[in-house]
Structure 1
Amino acid sequence: MKNEFGFFKKFFSNSVNKKDKLIITIDREHGSGGFEIASIIGKRLNIPVYDEDVIELKMLESSINPENIKKDDSFLQGTIQDLYRENYSYSQEDITNIDASFLANSKTIRDLAKQGSCILLGKCANYVLKGHEKTFDVFICADREYKIKRLMRVNKVDEEKAISHMKKKDNRRKNHYNKFSGGNWGCANEYDLCINSSSIDNEFIADLIIKTSTKKE
Structure 2
Amino acid sequence: MKYIITIGREHGSGGREIGYKLAEEFGIPFYDSELVNRICKEKGISDEFFSEYDEKKGSLIYSLIMDLYAKEANVIENTSLEQKLFNIQRDVINDIADEGACVIVGRCADHILKDRENTISIFISADTDSKIQRVSTRNKLNAQDAKKKMKFTDNKRKNYYNYYTSKKWGSSYCYDFCIKSNKLGIEQTVSTLKNMIDFLERG
Both structures adopt the same fold (TM-score exceeding 0.5): yes
SS in 1 for 2:184: coil
How many residue pairs get aligned? The number is 181
Moved more, 41-50 or 24-33: 41-50
CA distance in 2, matches of 1:69, 1:193: 37
Structure 1 residue corresponding to 2:160, chosen from 169, 176, 188? 176
Contact 1:26 1:121 (C-alpha < 8 Å) held by counterparts: yes
The Cα of 1:116 is off from its aligned counterpart by 1.6
Structure 1 match to 2:190 = 206
Structure 2 match to 1:137 = 121
Structure 1 match to 2:52 = none
Shift in alpha-carbon separation, 1:64–1:25, aligned structure 2, 3 A: farther
Structure 2 unpaired stretches of 5+: 46-65
Structure 1 unpaired stretches of 5+: 1-15, 77-90
Which residues in structure 2 correspond to 1:1-217 (within 5 Å)? 16=1, 21-51=2-32, 53-63=33-43, 66-67=66-67, 70-71=70-71, 75=74, 92-93=77-78, 95-132=79-116, 134-214=118-198, 215=200
4+ long deviations beyond 6 Å: none
Shift in alpha-carbon separation, 1:22–1:68, aligned structure 2, 3 A: farther
The Cα of 1:178 is off from its aligned counterpart by 0.3
Contact 1:69 1:100 (C-alpha < 8 Å) held by counterparts: no
TM-score, normalization by structure 2: 0.82
Calculate the aligned-residue CA RMSD, in Å: 2.0
Output the amino acid matched with 2:36.
E
Choose 1 or 2 for highest CA Rg.
Answer: 1
The Cα of 1:37 is off from its aligned counterpart by 0.8
SS in 2 for 1:62: helix
The Cα of 1:67 is off from its aligned counterpart by 4.3
